[in-house]
Amino acid sequence: MKIGQAYRCSRLADGLAETQNKAMRSAARLGALAMAISCLCVSGAAQVQYQDRDRSGVPKTSASAPPVGDRVDINHASLDELLRVPGLGRGWAMRIVRFRPYRTKQDLMDKGVVNSEVYDRIKDFVIAHHNKQ
């Protein structure tokens, strides 16, 4: 009888080990799936960040945008010069002056100086120079 009991115990142990292995495999698969989904989400977010840029990395401007030399420099322009920008009111111009300096004109949005509606109206008419020109 002892041999039969030992055999049954070994079968139970094998069944338990197999159940534990299945659980571990399932957990590993679930972890791999979660990792793959998170990688896809991160890469998708990185692509969205640059969707409005052309291949050279320069933000797109409209065909009616003035030449670069005629744009208003948001780092050095006076309040009166900023008020000449179409679509820019006194309150927004004062905020631009208050929160200087800017690395790029995109900083106006990134720092919360202007909202997206105002930025879309003025982006073709402004530029951010680092040195006084």
Structural domain including 2 reads: 1-49
Same domain, 74 and 121: yes
Residue 45 sits in the same domain as residue 72: no
Q: Which of 81, 79, 62 is nearest to 70 (CA)?
A: 81
Whether 39 and 2 map to the same domain: the answer is yes
Give the residue with greater pLDDT, 123 vs 31.
Answer: 123
Distance between CA atoms of residues 115 and 118, nearest Å: 6
| Tens-place pLDDT, residues 42-100 | 766 555 554 444 444 445 556 667 777 789 999 999 999 999 999 899 999 999 999 99
Distance CA 81, CA 93 (A): 9
118 and 73 both lie in a single domain: yes
57: in domain: no
Mean residue pLDDT across the chain:
78
What do you get for the CA distance between the two ends of the chain, in Å?
Answer: 100
User: Which CATH number goes with the domain that contains 119?
Assistant: 1.10.150.320
Residue 106 lies in a domain: yes
Which residues on neighbouring strands pair with residue 53, listed in sequence order? 59
Q: For the chain, how many structural domains are there in total?
A: 2
- pLDDT (0 to 100) of residue 31: 79
Within a domain: 82 = yes
58 domain-assigned: no
Domain membership of residue 36 (yes or no) is yes
Claim to verify: residue 32 and residue 80 sit in the same structural domain: no
Judge if 118 and 74 occupy the same domain: yes
Contact 123, 61 (CB under 8 A): yes
pLDDT reported for residue 33: 78
**39 and 72 share a domain?**
no
Q: Is residue 28 part of a domain?
A: yes
Residue 54 lies in a domain: no
Q: How far apart are CA 133 and CA 129, in angstroms?
A: 8
The more confidently predicted of residues 38 and 80 is: 80
**Chain CA centroid to CA 17, Å:** 46
